[in-house]
Amino acid sequence: MVEPIVFIGDSITEQWGFHRAETFAAYGLIPRGGSGQTARWITMRFRRDLEETGARGVHLLCGVNDIGRNEGFFVPADEIARTIAGMLDEARAMGVKAWVGSIMPAARIPWNPEVRDAPAMIMAVNTWLREHAHEHGATYIDYFSILADSSGALRKAYGTDGLHLSRAGYAAIEPLMLSSLGRGPTGTEAVVTPAPSPWRRRAVGFVIAAAMLAAIAALVLASR
């Protein structure tokens, strides 16, 4: 019997379980999404969701509602990352295997036009997760690269409002999800890394350039 994997997250997860219910039923996946919930709110039910479902695996996907300031205040990207990492650590302590999905691309937050740095915040959290998830016992799954256009926004064909996914959007990322979880047609576990999008190539270039400038600045200060 296939051990269940619980999907914990916000409305992205909630709608995933609704729009692709047949996939969840076929592969032993349990949706536990909560519309509008921030990562901090999700921490309050994280252990309960694991215990109630009896899942030995968890797919965690959250953070965009923190960026959207759903609790009424700004939350830095590093704090969002730390909150997600704390849940991954809790899963590891419980002996539960963990996967963490990238925040989905978005040029803006539909319900909060005051947030003007959503793409940069999303990139910052995703970069941290990509580089550090393994340190917290989790596998990172890069949905962003499949869904983003050249500007880093969600492709129109894959979304409904610029942030939430359509049925086509969920269908586009499901092969990667199933392969990463080891629930694809072959039953073997393999993390598939999509070909880098133009947005991702530019983002990597930006990070490298910033690191070089920081190194140069450090050398200048050291020589004084």
Q: What pLDDT was estimated at residue 185?
A: 65
| Position with higher pLDDT, 118 vs 195 | 118
pLDDT tens digits for 120-174?
A: 999 999 999 999 999 999 999 999 999 999 999 999 999 999 999 999 999 999 9
Tokens of 184: 């694809």
Confidence of residue 2 (pLDDT cuts 50, 70, 90): confident
Q: What angle do CA 76, 197, 172 make, to 5 degrees?
A: 90
Q: What's the pLDDT tens digit per position in 77-115?
A: 999 999 999 999 999 999 999 999 999 999 999 999 999
Environment class of 45 (CB within 10 Å of its CB; exposed 0-12, middle 13-18, buried 19+): middle
pTM above 0.85, yes or no: no
- pLDDT higher than threshold 90 for residue 204: no
Cα–Cα distances in angstroms (integers) from residue 154 to residues 60, 147, 157, in the given order? 20, 6, 8
Residue 184's pLDDT band (cuts 50, 70, 90): confident
Mean pLDDT on 72-79: 96
Average pLDDT over residues 176-182: 97
pLDDT higher than threshold 70 for residue 201 = no
Spatial distance between the Cα atoms of 119 and 64, rounded to a whole number of angstroms: 10
Q: Check residue 168 and give its pLDDT.
A: 97
Residues 1-17: what's their mean pLDDT? 94
* Domains of the chain, first to last: 5-189 (3.40.50.1110)
Report the mean per-residue pLDDT for the chain.
87
At 202, the pLDDT band (50, 70, 90 cuts) reads very low
